[in-house]
Structure 1
Amino acid sequence: MQEALWALVTGGLMLLMALGATVLTRIPLSTSMVYLGVGVALSPWGLGLLRADVAQHTVLVERLCEVVLLVSLFSSGLKMSTALRDRRWVLPLRLALLSMLVTVALIALAGHLLLGLSWGASVLLGGMLAPTDPVLASDVQVTHPRDRDSLRFALTAEGGLNDGTAFPFVLLGLGLLGADPDAHDGWRWLLLDGLWSSLAGLALGAGLGLAIARLVLYLRRRHREAVGLDDFLGMGLIALSYGVALLLHANGFLAVFAAGVAIRYLQRTQSPDPGSLRLAESAEADPDESVAQKVAVDPRHAPAYMAQAVLGFNEQLERIGELAVVVLIGALLWSVQWQGWAWWFVPLLLLGVRPVAVALGLRGSRASRAQRWLMGWFGIRGVGSLYYLAYAANHGLPHADAVLLASVTLSVVVSSIVLHGISVTPLMQAYEKRKRRGR
């Protein structure tokens, strides 16, 4: 009976999303809001089919969020078709570095002075809540590789970068709490967990992405081999980049994002014609496999087809991952020991800390007022924050701190899913109309 109920729930939800996908693009309701409601309905607050516990199932939560984040970060990298020297990279780099530092500092200050947390727990909370989410932000991200919009590009690249740049602060917070004694060594933390981890992660991911992609293209162009199974190519590169990075104490999240950027870079340099991308999209969608195989080995169009085929598969995985993890978030809420004061931290973060951090990080940039305002609002929190919460719980976070941080973190995540889900459609439609009018 239990298996039958789960089959009905899963199948019904997927069919509902398939049938109602176009409707959701026109109304102030996101897919994440639907998944969140389903999770709550399945929890002990509803039907009681899913008894996920935020304190007992931290390993499951960490692993699921980790996999979904990796797939999403790789997809974000594959969408970055802008040249590396393009000035559009300035905005996300400033958001992922300067705005990130300001966000962590302001959250840590608020956590210590207003919530009464220790400095270690406050820094850890800053690391958890500072990164924006690449999984739940699909409605404000680059829609396809030919999308040249600066706002979407900045938010997509920021989400791909700052899950990695936040990790050193999570480690620092755990170190200050005594969970990682080595983190008390400031120079070790700065040089190893900060600079080495970030730079090595980016370099490793880019190097592996370029090497594997060039090998595949060589085999396809010269020998008509290694054709098909682009889904295995994408997943294999994600796992390889992440695994090598972790073995070398480098940042695995940045490595996976860089691997995706590297594949798109190769496509841009070897198949720069926009017609190649359109042909690749058409061939991938063609039910006749011989058409796809012909384009896949064509010397001119092979890079575009490879990049597009890998991106298409990863986007499908990303949607399934979003469903799984947001349903889990909804199912976890019943087990949280809610602190009433945690809810006022939500407007402080979304309406105070995020806009201030964006304003300071982008000061003097070429971003328009509308773009800065939207970047300040769409600091979506979600899977990344939940992952770091579970990671900390599994790496020595004291139970008392875990209870408080879980309450604050999930208050922010749930509020972000609802508030950003309601506002994304009307705000982005207004932005597109304003852009078409040239304002």
Structure 2
Amino acid sequence: MDTLLISFAGLLLLAVLLSSLARRTILSTAALFLVGGFVLGDGVLGVISLRPGDELVGTLAELALFTVLFTDGMRVGWKDLSGAWKLPGRALGWGLPLTLVVTAVGAHYLIGLGWTESLLIGAILAPTDPVFAAALVGNDKVPPRLRQLLNVESGVNDGLALPFVMLFLAVAAGSKDLHLGELGLELGVGVLIGVVVPWLAIRLEQTRWFSASTAYEPLNALAIGLLVLALGKATHGNLFLAAFCAGITVATFGERQRESFEHFGELIAEVFKLAALLVFGALISWPLLGSVGWRGWLFAILALVLARPVAIWISFLGARLTLREQAAAAWFGPKGFASVVYGLIVLGSGIVAAQEVFQLVAVTIVLSILLHSSTDVVVARWFDEERDVPAWYGAARRLRDRVRGESAS
């Protein structure tokens, strides 16, 4: 435990010192913690020694995903979703399930896994991570609709993929452990807690008897999140669905609470993310990477360069996105934090194929972090090309795109 804490603190300090450089180059703090965990783990130096069944691994995965889903939900209140749902709706309503299915087909026919395990892998790898698209989302030269698409999609798809992960995991555990009624009750209780607790807390503060001081305002949403977590554990409701619903509820009914907690909450979520990536990297070893074989590595490559691009191409047929925008949206389907935690949950679940599922998920995430985190700046600069051409050419090209769009409609 001491060595893990020292390792995390040292890497966190290094990440802070390199953060400015990382925003401008191909360096990535996510890759730093992943590679750091791998080097410090049993696979190389043996400084950090962890096992999938260790209580620390399960607890950290649970807390990290709860925190991230809570802050993700807080970024996409109902007003945001209803006001900007056209393109993200296509990506979530069509792109997410299509990515799941294409990935599952690859796992079944290329690796030879059963359909349940293949669908489980598809559900784990379907969500995208906004961290790797940060250079695009924060670049004013990137079309606003593309930035909005990536931001809303990555904020919502973790929560949408969760029920599928839980369902396929329950099916993979065997018929004796499969109780759909109990699973449905668990999900329902999670939703109920996630909606009722934040709504009551916000309504209480809006009465004339209660009011949070400026200094304590950022702790309001934190207290709500902790209460949702505690009640979820006490009632055996689904913690992750409760977290996501709680974030959306705060964003919908408590704009002031959302704004005051936003920066503070993102920092908390980032710390948990990096800690989980460190643990995830420590669980990866050379034998694990080698045991997947060439079929496993081919699956990982196809999951990145085929599954999402095919799903995005189908999802945005007739959407009048430019080829450049569609290519960027298709490429930035990185498998990041949510996939990491779902993989850790499966690894500790005890299902027969847990190790094989984790291995395939692990190599896909490793490739994704290394590839996507090193190309976000490059793709963002792709949209900066308009600054390097004459003004008349840029105006003519924009007029051409507008005429094409009007004719298509």
Change (3 A) 1:367 1:63: farther
Indicate if the aligned counterparts of 1:111 and 1:125 stay in contact, CA closer than 8 A. yes
CA offsets per residue over residues 154-211 of structure 1, 9 Å max, x none? 32332332223223333443344353547587xx69xx74xx8778866753444333
C-alpha displacement at 1:239, in angstroms? Answer: 3.5
Indicate if the aligned counterparts of 1:103 and 1:357 stay in contact, CA closer than 8 A. yes
1:422 counterpart SS class: coil
Give the gaps of 5 or more residues in structure 1.
269-302
Which letter does structure 2 place at the counterpart of 1:215?
L
CA distance in 2 between partners of 1:142 and 1:327 (Å): 25
Structure 2 equivalent of residue 295 of structure 1: none
Change (3 A) 1:368 1:218: farther
Change (3 A) 1:24 1:393: closer
Give the gaps of 5 or more residues in structure 2.
389-393, 399-409
% identical equivalent positions? 27
Which letter does structure 2 place at the counterpart of 1:257?
F
CA offsets per residue over residues 96-147 of structure 1, 9 Å max, x none? 332222122222222222111112211221122122235x446268669xx9
The answer to whether 1:383 aligns with 2:337 is yes
CA distance in 1 between partners of 2:308 and 2:126 (Å): 9
Structure 2 equivalent of residue 428 of structure 1: 380
The answer to whether 1:109 aligns with 2:60 is no
Change (3 A) 1:174 1:267: closer
CA distance in 2 between partners of 1:367 and 1:62 (Å): 41
Change (3 A) 1:158 1:250: farther
CA distance in 1 between partners of 2:66 and 2:29 (Å): 20
1:24 counterpart SS class: helix
CA offsets per residue over residues 348-378 of structure 1, 9 Å max, x none? 1111111111222233335443332222111
CA distance in 2 between partners of 1:261 and 1:60 (Å): 29
Indicate if the aligned counterparts of 1:122 and 1:173 stay in contact, CA closer than 8 A. no
Which letter does structure 1 place at the counterpart of 2:264?
F
Larger deviation, residues 26-35 vs 14-23: 14-23
Normalising by structure 1, what TM-score? 0.75
The answer to whether 1:314 aligns with 2:265 is yes
2:84 counterpart SS class: helix
RMSD value, Cα: 3.5
Which letter does structure 1 place at the counterpart of 2:110?
L
Indicate if the aligned counterparts of 1:112 and 1:118 stay in contact, CA closer than 8 A. yes
Indicate if the aligned counterparts of 1:80 and 1:153 stay in contact, CA closer than 8 A. no
1:128 to 120, 124, 147: 124
Indicate if the aligned counterparts of 1:175 and 1:181 stay in contact, CA closer than 8 A. no
2:284 counterpart SS class: helix
CA offsets per residue over residues 328-365 of structure 1, 9 Å max, x none? 12211116363112111122111111111122223333
Change (3 A) 1:367 1:41: same
CA distance in 2 between partners of 1:209 and 1:243 (Å): 13
CA distance in 2 between partners of 1:63 and 1:93 (Å): 33
Indicate if the aligned counterparts of 2:186 and 2:237 stay in contact, CA closer than 8 A. yes
The answer to whether 1:413 aligns with 2:402 is no
Larger deviation, residues 244-253 vs 317-326: 244-253
